[in-house]
Amino acid sequence: MCLSIPSKVLEIDENNFAVVETLGVRRGVSLDLIAEPVEVGDFVLIHVGFAMEKIDTQYAQESLKLYQKIADDMQSGVIPPEE
**CA–CA–CA angle 46, 49, 50 (5° rounding):** 55
pLDDT surpassing 60 at residue 1: no
Mean pLDDT of 57-73: 92
Residue-averaged pLDDT of the chain: 92
Residue 38, CB-side half-sphere exposure with 13 Å CA sphere? 31
Tell me the pTM: 0.85
Residue 17 pLDDT: 97
pLDDT surpassing 80 at residue 83: no
